[in-house]
Structure 1
Amino acid sequence: MPQSRRGMVAAPHYLASQTGAFILQSGGNAFDAAVAVSAVLGVVYPHMTGPGGDAFFLIHDGHTGKIEGYNGSGRSAAKATPEWYTKQGYTTIPSRGPLAAVTVPGMVDAWEAVWKKYGRLPWAEIIAPAVRYAEEGFPASPSLARWIMRDLEWIQQDTHLRSVFCPNGIPLVEGDIVIQTKLAQTLRLIGEQGSACFYNGSIGQMIGEATERDGSVLTKEDLAAHQGEWVEPVSTTYRGHRVYQMPPNTQGFSVLMMLNILENVDLSSIARFSPEFYHLVVETVKKAFQDRDRYLTDPAFRDIPIEQLLSKDYAKKLWYDMQYHPQASPHLSPAMGQDTAYAAVTDDEGNTVSFIQSLYFDFGSAYVPGDSGVILQNRGSFFSLDDRAPNVLEPRKRTFHTLMPGMVTKNGKPYLLLGTQGGEGQPQTQLSILTGVIDYQLTIQQAIGLPRWLYGRTWGDMSDTLKIESRSYEDIYSRLEAYGHIVEPIRDYDAVMGEAQGIMINEQGVFSGAADPRSDGIAIGI
C-alpha cells in the first residue's frame, strides 16, 4: 500500500497508473491525470473499456471545495424503439454485433468536459500516452489474454477485432504485443482536434455511416446530438462520514440505501467473516435492489423518488421488515454485464477524482465500425422491450447504468475514493470496502483484500446465487444454506468478484493507494 503526500494514482492496469503518475510529475493536476489514465485504460484494457463506451467522473475541487459529477453516458438512437426490434423478430435486444450498438459513446465528450473545466496541461499532451500505447503496442496483460480466449468466438466474427487480437488466426497470449493502429489514428485526431471530430467530424461520420450500413439503429446524427452533463451527486451520512454517489441514471443510490439500513445495527459487533455478517449484508442488498429495479432508468423519462429512497425513516422501515423475515428472501435481479474499469487520482492541491468507465460486456458489442478502431459498447442492450418496464427502450434515452464511482468525506474533506468493476457487484463491493474501512477500521488495501460476496447474476446465469470467496471457512456455506441462501463457493481472489481500486486520505493529508490483487493494476504515489 504505497503512501504519498504529493499525489496518488490507483488504476486496474499498471501502465495506466504509470501514466497518471507521469502526468502529475509533469505539472498536471489530478484532473489532467484522470483524463490521461482514462484514455490509456481505453487502449491497454480494451476488453473492459475504450472510447466507444461511457464514463462517469465524480470530482472534488480542492480550490472551492465543490463536489460534482459528470455524466458521460450516451443516449439511445433517435430510431431506437421496441417496435424496431420486435418487427425483426427479437424479444430482447441482441447483446453482440451491430444491433447491440444502441447508444452513443459518451466517454470522449467526458474527457474533454473534465479537462476544459479543470485541467491545465495542453490537451494533446493528455491524449498522447494513449496514442503511443495504441500505436507502438504494449504487452497483453493476464486479464486481456484471459478474456481474448473467453470471447474468441465473438472476436473472430469481427474483422478488426480478429486482426488485432487474433492475428493470423492465433489468439494473443499474455506478454504478446498488442498493436491497435486504427485506434491510434482515431486517438491522434482526438488529440489534435478535440472531441468534436468524434461526434461531429470525420470520425463521427465514419462511425455513423458504418453503423447504418451494418444495420444498427445508431446514426451519425445521433453522435452529433450527444452532450454529457454536469450533475449534483446524491449522498447520505454513515457513522460520521458523508458518502457521495452519482445520481440516476446510475445505480449509485443503491449503496447509499444499504448504508442507511445498516446504520440501524452495530455492525462492528458482528464478526466480518461470519455467516451472520454475510446474511445481514445480502438481505440488505436485496432490499435496495428491489427499489433499484423498480425505479431506475433515465430520470428525464420517469420520476424516481430519490429523497424518499434515501431517507433514514425509509431505511428503518426496511430494516424492521428484514427483522420480521429473518430467512433469505427471494429476489431475482435482471442479468447484467460486469466488465468495467475504475480508477482514482489525487494531487497535493486537494483535488480528487473518482471515475469509472465501461463497454458493458467484455469487448462490448464485439463490433468495430469502419476503420475507426473503436469497439462500440453494448450498454443499450440492457434496455427492455417491454413497455411496462421502467427501463423500456425509448428514443434519446439513457439506460439504467451500473457504473458508480464513489467518494467519502470526513469532517468536510475528502477521505476515501473507491469503485470497482462488476455490474451487480459494484454496490456490493463498495459496501464491503466502506464497512471494512468505517466499521472494521481497516486500511483501504486491507478492505479491498477482504473476502467478498456477490449476490445476483451476470448475463447468461439463470438464477441468483450467493457467491462467496472461500478462505477456509469450513462451516460458513452450510450455515448460510440453513438461512435459505443458494451458496456458490468461489476460489480466493477470483476475478468474478470484480477489480476494485481506492485511495484513502488521512488527517495529515497523506494518501494511501490500493489496487485490487484480482486486477492487473497498481497504485503509485509521487
Structure 2
Amino acid sequence: MKKFASLVLLFLIGISLFAQDRITGKNFATRSDVMARHGMVCTSQPLATQIGIDILKKGGSAVDAAIAANAALGLMEPTGSGMGGDLFAIVWDAKTKKLYGLNASGRSPKALTLAIFKEKGLKKIPPFGPLPVTVPGCVDGWFSLHERFGKLPMKDILEPTIQYAEEGFPVTEIIGYYFGRSVEYFSKKFPNVTETYMSDGEPPYKGKVFRNPMLASTYREIAQGGRDAFYKGRIAHVIADFIQEQGGYLSYEDLAAHHSQWVEPVSVNYRGYDVWELPPNGQGIAALQMLQVLKGYDIASMGFGSADHIHYFTEAKKLAFEDRAKYYADMDFANVPVKTLISEKYAAERRKLIRPDRAGKYSAGEISQGETVYLTAADDEGNMVSLIQSNYRGMGSGMVPPGLGFMLQDRGQLFNLEEGHANTYEPGKRPFHTIIPAFVTKDGKPYMSFGVMGGDFQPQGHVQILMNIIDFGMGLQEAGDAPRISHDGSTSPTGTPADGTGQISLESGFGYEAIRTLMQRGHRVGFENGIYGGYQAIMYDAKNDVYYGASESRKDGEAIGY
C-alpha cells in the first residue's frame, strides 16, 4: 500500500512539474510552432538542422537538405543513425504533384542460412556481433533520392559534415547520455570502437568536442566516387573482410548486389485526411490499421487523456500488432495482404472484438491468401521529404570496420528463426523493419510530413500525433509535446508470444482518475522513462503559403525555417 501511495505521489508531482505556464496554447506545450515561407528542416540535432537549412539557402532541394542532415546525424547522433544502417523515405514532388516511396533497406547475407543458425543452437538472432549484420542500405538510399530529386552535387551536400567531422563539434545532452552508455559497453566487447568513438580514454559526453576524421575520409570517398565507392570499391572490401574475420557471413558480393527499391506508398483516409505509409517490410501499415479501427469511434468527444481515449487507442494497437507479427515481411518473399489489412471492411470486423469495459487479448485476423533518427525537410518549390534512418538498437551491432568511422546495423536480429512464418530468415531477404516515415495529404495536396522514431513505438506515435491534431485540435508542436501512451507485450514478428494483455506505459500528465479506470478495466499500467520516441514534423498551410515546423522536445534538436 505504501509503495502504491508513493507511486501516486510521484506521479502527481510529475504532473505539476510538467505544466509550462505558457500564456497561449496547451499547458504541456514546450514552445511555439516554427513558421517560415521558403523552407524548413526539422531534426534531432541543432547543427544538423542548420546544415539542412544552409543547403536549402544554397539552392538545394528538400531532398538535398535531408541527405545533408542525415549525413550530419551519422556524425553527430551515431547513437541512432549512420551510414551503416538502412533508410526509408516518402517524397512529395511538387512538379508531378505525387508521392514517391523509397525502401532503402538491406538484405541478409546470401551465405548465411537458417540451417547455420540451427547448427549454432540459436533460437533467436543475437543483437550484437557479426550475425545480425545485414547490407547497409543508407548510402544507396541517398544516391537514389539524389538522382531523382537532387539539385546540388553530392560533394557540396556532404562537405559541411566532413568539416565538422575533422574540426569537431560539442556533443549535445541527450546524445551524450546515450553515447556514454553505448560506447562504454561496445568498447569492452568489440574492436575499433575505442579508436572511432573515444578520446582521452572516455566516451563523448555533453559539451565535449568530438571528432571523427575516419568518417570524414569515408564521406569524401563516396562524395567523389559515388555509391559504387561504398558498395563496389575499397569500402565494400573493408566491410566484408572485417565481418568475416569476426565470424560473420556478409560478403563483398552481398554489398555489390545491393539496390534500393522505389515503392508505391499506401494510404487510408482518416476523417478527411489521407495518411500515407510505405508497405512492408516496414511496419507503417500498422498505423493505418489502427486508424481504420479508431475512426469508428468519436475520439474527439472522449477528450484527450481520458480512460476511453487511452483504452480504445491501446486496443486498436493490440489488434494491429497481432497482424503485424503474422503477416508483415519482405514482400519479395511473402504475400502480404496489404489491401485487405488496411481496408475499412477488415477494420470493421476487427473492431467488433473490442470491449468498451475490458482490456482484450487478441489473435491475428484470418485472411485468405526498436533507436532511430527521423527528419523532414521542405523547400521553396513545395517539395517535401519524410526520411527515417537507423542502425537499430541505438548504435547498431558493435561491428566497426577498421578506419571507416561508423558502426554497422544489426537489423538481422528482427528475423524469425522458426520455419513457416512470413518473416522467417532466408538468405538475401530483407528483415522486418521498425523504421517508418509518414506523410499526410488533404484533397490531393501536401499537408504534413512527419515521423516518430522509436522501435515498436513508431506506429503508436504516428497515430497519437494524428489523433492529437485531427481529433483533439492541437497545433503541430503541441501534438508532439502532449504526454504519450506506449503499449508493449504484443506478439513479435521475431516469434515472441504476447504477454497477456501487455502493459500500458504513460508519461507524466495523465490524470489518476483515467489511470484508475484503466486498471479497473484490466489494463496493467506502468510509468517508463525514455521509450516514447522522437518526433519531427512540417505542416504546409496552403492558404497562407507558410510552412510550420515542430521538433521533439524530448530530444536535443530543433526546427528551423527561413
Q: TM-score, normalised by structure 1?
A: 0.95
CA distance in 2 between partners of 1:395 and 1:159 (Å): 27
Q: 1:157-306 alignment to 2 at 5 Å?
A: 157-306=189-338
> Is residue 143 of structure 1 aligned with residue 183 of structure 2?
no
CA distance in 1 between partners of 2:202 and 2:429 (Å): 40
Q: CA deviation at 1:149?
A: 2.9
> Is residue 480 of structure 1 aligned with residue 518 of structure 2?
yes
CA distance in 2 between partners of 1:358 and 1:456 (Å): 21
Instruction: Specify which of 453, 477, 500 is matched with residue 445 of structure 1.
Output: 477
Contact kept? 2:319, 2:363, Cα under 8 Å: no
CA distance in 2 between partners of 1:21 and 1:250 (Å): 29
Q: CA deviation at 1:461?
A: 12
CA distance in 1 between partners of 2:385 and 2:45 (Å): 17
- The alignment-based identity, stated in percent, is 38
Give 1:378's aligned residue: 410
Instruction: Specify which of 417, 429, 443 is matched with residue 397 of structure 1.
Output: 429
CA distance in 2 between partners of 1:182 and 1:156 (Å): 21
Give 2:17's aligned residue: none
Residue identity in the other structure for 2:107: R
Give 2:64's aligned residue: 32
Residues 335-375 of structure 1 show CA distances to partners (whole Å, capped at 9, x for unaligned) of: xxx20000111112110100100001111001102222220
Give 2:156's aligned residue: 125
CA distance in 2 between partners of 1:172 and 1:106 (Å): 27
> Is residue 112 of structure 1 aligned with residue 161 of structure 2?
no
CA distance in 1 between partners of 2:408 and 2:362 (Å): 32
* Runs of 5+ unmatched residues, structure 2: 1-32, 365-369
Contact kept? 1:80, 1:393, Cα under 8 Å: no
Contact kept? 1:164, 1:178, Cα under 8 Å: no
> Is residue 60 of structure 1 aligned with residue 96 of structure 2?
no
> Is residue 517 of structure 1 aligned with residue 549 of structure 2?
no
Contact kept? 2:45, 2:76, Cα under 8 Å: yes
Residues 239-290 of structure 1 show CA distances to partners (whole Å, capped at 9, x for unaligned) of: 1111110111111111111111111111111111111110110001011111
| 2:388 match: secondary structure | strand
Give 1:497's aligned residue: 532
Contact kept? 2:322, 2:363, Cα under 8 Å: no
Residues 30-73 of structure 1 show CA distances to partners (whole Å, capped at 9, x for unaligned) of: 11111111111111110100000000010010011011111100
CA distance in 1 between partners of 2:320 and 2:498 (Å): 21
Residue identity in the other structure for 1:495: G
Give 1:8's aligned residue: 40
Give 1:468's aligned residue: 506
Q: 1:72-91 alignment to 2 at 5 Å?
A: 72-91=104-123
CA distance in 2 between partners of 1:387 and 1:169 (Å): 45
Q: 1:475 to 1:36 in 2, by over 3 A?
A: same
CA distance in 2 between partners of 1:212 and 1:84 (Å): 15
Q: CA deviation at 1:82?
A: 1.8
| 1:187 match: secondary structure | helix
Q: CA deviation at 1:159?
A: 3.3
Q: 1:83 to 1:154 in 2, by over 3 A?
A: same
| CA RMSD of superposed structures (Å) | 1.9
CA distance in 1 between partners of 2:203 and 2:48 (Å): 24
| 1:495 match: secondary structure | coil
Moved more, 176-185 or 456-465: 456-465
> Is residue 367 of structure 1 aligned with residue 399 of structure 2?
yes
Contact kept? 2:483, 2:510, Cα under 8 Å: no
Residue identity in the other structure for 1:392: T
Q: 1:22 to 1:443 in 2, by over 3 A?
A: same
Residue identity in the other structure for 1:222: D
Q: CA deviation at 1:331?
A: 5.8
Contact kept? 1:7, 1:511, Cα under 8 Å: yes
CA distance in 1 between partners of 2:187 and 2:69 (Å): 25
Residue identity in the other structure for 2:547: F
| 1:182 match: secondary structure | helix
Q: CA deviation at 1:472?
A: 5.8
CA distance in 2 between partners of 1:311 and 1:196 (Å): 41
CA distance in 2 between partners of 1:158 and 1:476 (Å): 47
Residues paired across the two proteins, number: 517
> Is residue 316 of structure 1 aligned with residue 352 of structure 2?
no
Q: CA deviation at 1:155?
A: 3.1
Residues 104-157 of structure 1 show CA distances to partners (whole Å, capped at 9, x for unaligned) of: 000000001111111111110011122222222211121222113322222332
Q: CA deviation at 1:171?
A: 2.8
Residue identity in the other structure for 1:220: Y
